[in-house]
Amino acid sequence: MLEYFLGTLPHFLAYFAAALALAVAFLYLYSLATPHREFALIREGNSAAAIQLTGTFIGFTIPLAMVIANSVNLADMLLWGVVAALVQLGVFVVIARFLFRTISSRIAEGCTASGQFVGGIGLGVGILQAACMVP
């Protein structure tokens, strides 16, 4: 048992480190892609920004977890992790550019409904893409 654990530990550490790197990169790129500054707004106590970013992040990590569980190697996981991130970025673009052009300013103003909508759509799309990423 201990031998198996020690033999698989490097595999776990590689996937976990790669997943954390993808998560940090996603949060960074997502916060740059949106017109409002989520982290600054959250520091100020803006619940709408917190809900929006949390829902979107979970919408990214659910497919990432599915990819980790089903990937054939680390490169495969990284590639599909990037796809998951691009889909989440696309969700915000579609919402902010085509459905509700003022949603970013509404989130910055603290409109919780706007934050819940964006976060919820991101979460729902993440669940759908996770289901599509299973071989």
Q: What tens digit of pLDDT does each residue of 104-117 get?
A: 999 999 999 999 99
25-29, 52-56, 130-134: the lowest-pLDDT one: 130-134
What does the pLDDT average to over 78-91? 96
Residue 33 and residue 89: Cα distance in Å, rounded?
8
- The answer as to whether 5 is a domain residue is no
Q: Which alpha helices (DSSP H) does the chain contain, by range? A: 2-33, 38-43, 47-70, 74-94, 103-108, 112-132
Q: Which domain holds residue 61?
A: 17-32+40-132
Position 8 confidence tier, pLDDT thresholds 50, 70, 90: confident
| Residue 77: inside a domain | yes
Structurally, the chain folds into a number of domains equal to 1
**Does residue 63 lie in a domain region?**
yes
pLDDT at site 134: 76
Q: Are 59 and 123 in contact (CB under 8 A)?
A: yes
